[in-house]
Structure 1
Amino acid sequence: MYRPSRALPYLLARLGVRMGELFARELKRDDLTLPMYRVLAFLAEENGVQRLGDLAVLTVMEMSTLSRLVATMQRRGLVTRVRPENDQRSLHVGLTDAGKVLVTRLQPRAHYYEQVATGALSAAEIDALKATLNVIYQNVDMLEAELDAWDAAEAAKPKARRKAASD
């Protein structure tokens, strides 16, 4: 029997929400939100500059939400936004010196949270868990392909048949 309380998505979400809520309490001291920290951390990981679209994928945020967040962070002097001369459709987001200082100070705390959460695991177990989670994430692409195929099939059906099926 399928038990939602033991389902992997639920367990992962429960862990992510709990750790996120706790770390967000710490970030509040710097008037930051967890999504703001993620932007800073991924920019720092990628040499300080990212295309907005790539940053949306890394931070798992909708483009419009991320765009508004980056604008707020720019006003606060944490990031820059630049449109390259050779590509006016693209937007590059970069860390300012203030953003670099802040993320450099916060990253050890983020690492500490991970260390506490994985404290009972060996280094090999942690590496294996991370590798497994990456494999599972890639496997989910199959679900997306199935949904895309279903959506395409539904869109190809005549409207009357779709309406009758939904009634």
Structure 2
Amino acid sequence: MSFSRNRLLACLGLLLLAGVLFAACRTPPRPLPLVDASQPGWHTQRFPALWRPPGKNAPEIAGDLFLTQHTDGRALVNFTKLPFPSVTAWRAPGEWQIEFQPQRRWSAGKGAASARFLLLWVPEALAGAPLPPPLVVENLSDPPRAVRLRQPRTGETLTLFRQP
């Protein structure tokens, strides 16, 4: 009787371990779609930018932000500082994805874009459209030559400088 009880406990332990291991695994995102900005409907803009990643003591990083938008609502936002890897955000109606290449982190979802990531909201901020709380947009001059997006909860900021 104790043999079968020990065997049962061992099987339950293995099942519990397997459940923990599989629950910790995440399927990597599908690759970001290739964008051919030379096709009709696409428009690309470049902005010198200052990005302060989330965190109280995070330093600002100077780089370039490239915004490529399609008239159907798709958008690709890329912040890069050469020679370092970049942060890339993709939005399409009903889905979004963001990749942080330096940390090899990513997040993706269905539906409205997450307010956790400022890069996903660059198109709305530049168009003057309302952003979801708690995100804040500030015009830094009049006429606005610079726009700052802020995420007050995390301390993340993104300042975009418009080219004359």
TM-score with structure 1 setting the length: 0.23
**Structure with the larger RCO, 1 or 2 (CA within 8 Å, 6+ apart):** 2
**Based on CA coordinates, which of the two structures has the bigger radius of gyration?**
2
Greater strand percent: which structure? 2
TM-score with structure 2 setting the length: 0.23
